[in-house]
Structures are given as structure tokens and as C-alpha cells.
Amino acid sequence: MDKNEFLKAFADQFDETEPALITLDTKFKELEEWSSMVALMIIAMADENYNKKITGADLRESDTIGQLYERISSR
């Protein structure tokens, strides 16, 4: 699981947010476009691209995209 690929795939789930605004240090839940629908798409992306399960707790307890990556990449 590659960190930058994950970041790109994460950013792809947003329609309106500038990709430049989405980095590993971005606090994703503070993005204006963040919503439960985007969360569902992130979960689906991780399942499809990496066969990894993201739970509600993973999203709640991670602030940045980097932290989310660390949580799930070790599984």
C-alpha cells in the first residue's frame, strides 16, 4: 500500500476541493466538502483498491490523512 497513491485516491473522492489542498497532513474532516457521503466513498475506495476495511472509529480517531493511512496500512 503506497502512501502517495492512497493520498491521490483519497483526493479523488472529492468533487469540489482543490487537490492541492489535500495532503497527508490535511485535517480531512475540516474540509468544507467533507460529509458522511464522502466518508462512504473513502470506505468503498479502501475496500476496492486495497481490500482494507475502514470503520467509523478509524475516521473518528484519525485527524489527518496520514494518520488514517498509518491506521489501516498495517492491517
Contact characters 33-72, other proteins, x per CB under 8 A? --xxx-xxx-xx--xx----xxxxx-xx------------
Planar angle of CA 49, 52, 57, nearest 5 degrees: 130
N-to-C CA span, the chain:
10
Residue 36 CB, nearest distance to other proteins (Å)? 6
* Gap between the Cα atoms of 19 and 25, Å rounded: 13
Q: Does 21 bind other proteins (CB under 8 A)?
A: no
Q: Which of 49, 48, 18 is nearest to 31 (CA)?
A: 18
Candidates 3-11, 17-25, 30-38, 65-73: pick the segment binding other proteins (CB under 8 A).
30-38
Say how many residues touch other proteins, by CB under 8 A: 17
Amino acid at 66: G
Q: Which is nearer to other proteins, 11 or 54 (CB)?
A: 54
